[in-house]
Amino acid sequence: MTFNSREIILGVGGGISAYKSAELLRRLQDKGFNVTVVPTQASLNFVGVATWQALSGREVPTNLWNNTHEVAHISMARQASAIIIAPTTFDLIGKIANGIANDLLTNIVAASTAQLILVPAMHTEMWLNQANQENVEKLRARGVIVIEPEFGKMTGEDVGIGRYPEVSGLIESISTHLNFEFDLKGKSILITAGGTREAIDPVRFIGNRSSGKQGYAIAKRAYERGADVTLISANVELASIPGIEIIKVESATDLYEVMKRKFSKADILLMAAAVADARPAELSDLKIKKGSLNAITLVENEDILASISQTKSDKQVVVAFAAETMDDLEAEGKRKLFAKGADLIYVNNVSNGAIFGSRLTSGLILDRHGLHKAINDLPKDTLADELLNLALNKLG
């Protein structure tokens, strides 16, 4: 399953209280969720597509039969970590409880294994109707969360149970049920990943073995934990991550230029890219013939991290990375941490070709006081969380 904890679907059923979901949408966004609104055809009688587009800032799919080749209901069902339907009508409760899928929203529900939260709102008689009550029982028994409607004034003169709950209380109960903590919300996190390439001629380059997996794992976890993430990506063969701004670069010089623009706005920098220490002194416009390829003169590249760190404020945290094959990882890590002006460093142990391209990582986490933790065969996304926790902690 490829859930993204920040992605949720807000289904809107055809009830007069559909307008209240505009406020719910806003509050969900405030919490850090990215919301795709899927209104039923009936609901468009109350609130139109334009409102949902403007508020969500996204496309608003309304029809199962648009762009069928994209099989939107399946991809949306796979991405979303939760589906909230508010208001949920008598009709929607009946369909979902009995496994009926005849429009886009009910097909998404049918295809999804994400947490489903229903917010019923209807006239008291309909809410208390025996079929409806049995359907609600059935849904709850399956693990669907059905929020109790509130008592109060209905459309017209009637008073009774069936009202759409107050949004402030509703959002609290949704948050409790979903249990996602966006502890990096409001934090701007800059991450570099991959390995730079230094061109020799139009065909050849000097490169390195970095796969970019560690940097991408950090970017994904930071995003899932609510951060605004910018990823500077150098020559990787990895899929992009929805929701994350990715800036592609090739050489160390390109990377440095982007870093100069982006660093000042970042709260945390994680410099996972493997930057080439040198580049060919001259870039040949033409492919160099083999007879002339016996030596390449190199010039040193800027030490990007060391230079950028000199502009670092007290409110910024910098995490360096190193890949070492030497015996004393700790001493070398410590030396680099200070040389690069970093607050933390993760020293990968890459002896015997380990780690590059792998899902697991081993190494040492050091801070300015020394060794913080030794890491042994940990998944790269678990390490990502560890480093983000430490950086957040240093940020205070």
Catalytic residues: 208
Contacting residue, 275, 337, 365, 390, with ligand CTP by CB under 6 A: 275
CA 274, 278, 284, 288 torsion-angle sign? negative
Helix (H) or strand (E) holding 131: helix 130-141
Segment near ligand CTP (CB under 6 A); pick from 67-75, 109-117, 284-292, 318-326: 318-326
Taking the C-alpha atoms of residue 8 and residue 333, their distance in angstroms, rounded to an integer, is 41
Q: Should residue 163 be labelled a site residue for ligand CTP when binding is judged by CB under 6 A?
A: no
Q: In this complex, which beta carbon is closest to ligand CTP, that of residue 152 or of residue 341?
A: 341
Instruction: Name 99's Cβ contacts closer than 8 Å, sequence gap at least 6.
Output: 110
Q: Does residue 266 belong to the site contacting ligand CTP (CB under 6 A)?
A: no
Is 48 in contact with 18 (CB distance < 8 Å)? no
Which CB, 112 or 208, lies closer to ligand CTP? 208
Amino acid at site 116: L
Stretch that binds ligand CTP, among 79-87, 129-137, 316-324, 387-395 (CB under 6 A): 316-324
- Please give the biggest Cα pair distance in the chain: 93
Convert 64-74 to b/e letters by CB count within 10 Å (16 or more is b).
beeeeeeebbe
* Region binding ligand CTP by CB under 6 A among candidate stretches 30-38, 156-164, 168-176, 319-327: 319-327
Angstrom distance (rounded) from CA 138 to CA 121: 18
Q: How far is the CB of 221 from ligand CTP (least distance, A)?
A: 18
CB of 382 to ligand CTP, least distance (A): 20
DSSP class of 287? P
191 near ligand CTP (CB under 6 A) = no
Q: Please tell me whether residue 254 binds ligand CTP under the rule CB under 6 A.
A: no
Rounded Cα distance, 269 and 12, in Å: 39
CB of 356 to ligand CTP, least distance (A): 13
**Residue number with CB closer to ligand CTP (22 or 344):** 344
Smallest CA-to-CA distance from 211 within 245, 234, 184 is with: 234
Interaction of residue 271 with ligand CTP, rule CB under 6 A: yes
Cis bond upstream, residue 87 (ω within 30): yes
Verify binding: residue 250, ligand CTP, rule CB under 6 A: no
According to the binding rule CB under 6 A, does residue 320 interact with ligand CTP? yes
Report 336-355 residues binding ligand CTP (CB under 6 A).
336, 340
Total chain residues near ligand CTP (CB under 6 A): 15
Task: Assess 385 for contact with ligand CTP (CB under 6 A).
Answer: no
Q: Is 322 in the site for ligand CTP (CB under 6 A)?
A: yes
Helix and strand numbers, DSSP H then E, in the chain: 13, 19
Nearest approach in angstroms of CB 254 to ligand CTP is 13
Tell the burial category of 277 from Cβ atoms under 10 Å away from its Cβ (0-12, 13-18, 19+).
middle
342/200 Cα distance (integer angstroms) = 31
Measured in whole angstroms, the distance separating CA 277 from the mean position of its chain's CA atoms is: 31
Binding range to ligand CTP, per CB under 6 A, among 9-17, 52-60, 91-99, 315-323: 315-323
Q: To the nearest 10°, the Cα dihedral for 40, 182, 217, 258?
A: 100
Question: Contact letters (x/-) for ligand CTP, 292-311, by CB under 6 A?
Answer: ---------x-xxx------
| Distance from C-alpha of 308 to C-alpha of 295, rounded to nearest angstrom | 32
* Site for ligand CTP contains 279 (CB under 6 A): no
Let me know: does 321 contact 363? Beta carbons within 8 Å. Answer: no
Residue 364 sits in the site that holds ligand CTP (CB under 6 A): no
Q: Please select the residue that binds ligand CTP; options are 273, 344, 364, 375, rule is CB under 6 A.
A: 273
The one segment of 25-33, 92-100, 166-174, 271-279 that binds ligand CTP by CB under 6 A: 271-279
Toward ligand CTP, which CB reaches closer, 85 or 305?
Answer: 305
The answer to the question of residue 329 lying near ligand CTP (CB under 6 A) is: no
Please say which residue, 115 or 208, places its beta carbon nearer to ligand CTP. 208
Would you say 235 and 197 are in contact if contact means Cβ atoms under 8 Å apart?
yes
Residues found near ligand CTP in the complex (CB under 6 A): 252, 271, 273, 275, 277, 301, 303-305, 320-323, 336, 340
